[in-house]
Chains A and B, each alone.
Chain A
Amino acid sequence: GNSVTQMEGPVTLSEEAFLTINCTYTATGYPSLFWYVQYPGEGLQLLLKATKADDKGSNKGFEATYRKETTSFHLEKGSVQVSDSAVYFCALSDRDSSASKIIFGSGTRLSIRP
């Protein structure tokens, strides 16, 4: 079945550092890929998405590129801020409408030091 594997945390960085959180997936067909962010005490919010190979999703300075050849969707940001501290989830959604479900990775907790 489909699965998502992401980098284990926690990850602690200094402000303005470069961020990479790795995500790889296993899926049949061509899923949509997502990064969600969860701030303390809240539900998940969509951060960015990509729906086909070589698409780049971007939002709030974060980027991720859908790499079909390496089945990866790594999250990057060039200069992190304290406000980026949160838990980040990689996810995929298959497009087969008879069995559509969204599968999440285990989450990566990110802490940014001032």
Chain B
Amino acid sequence: NAGVTQTPKFRVLKTGQSMTLLCAQDMNHEYMYWYRQDPGMGLRLIHYSVGEGTTAKGEVPDGYNVSRLKKQNFLLGLESAAPSQTSVYFCASSYSAGGEAFFGQGTRLTVV
């Protein structure tokens, strides 16, 4: 049982480059989330989805886009990376509203 899998685990980008982070879950969860973790700031919600085909903005959505074409996958895109997007990104999923979240191992992204 893989749970929540994020790819890649590490990435270095140059300013202005684009990339997509993939999150896959095999638990048939409806809800999926993308967070970024920065020192001293905890986890901040970027975007989330309450079901296949739906997405919504979180606390810090600017500079990111997401898609949820399949229930098991939630993609996070950076169209033009900036150094301020250097962070550790976590994907999570949960079965229902109010339910516990299951996390991936994280993606460490550095933008130079």
Contacts and interface: CB of A to CB of B under 8 A. Distances in A.
A104 B43 contact: yes
A98 B50 contact: yes
A42 B105 contact: yes
Indicate the member of A32, A100, A104, A106 with the most B CB atoms within 10 Å.
A100
Contacts, number: 74
B74 interface: no
Contacts of B102: 46
B98 A94 contact: yes
A101 B58 contact: yes
Interface residues of A, number: 28
Kindly state the interface size class of chain B when it binds its partner.
20 to 34
Interface in A43-61: 43-46, 49, 51
A32 B90 contact: no
A89 B44 CA distance: 12
A102 interface: yes
A66 to B, nearest CB: 13
Contacts of B104: 43
A98 B101 CA distance: 17
A91 B106 CA distance: 18
8 contacts: A36-B101, A42-B105, A44-B92, A46-B101, A93-B97, A94-B97, A95-B98, A104-B35
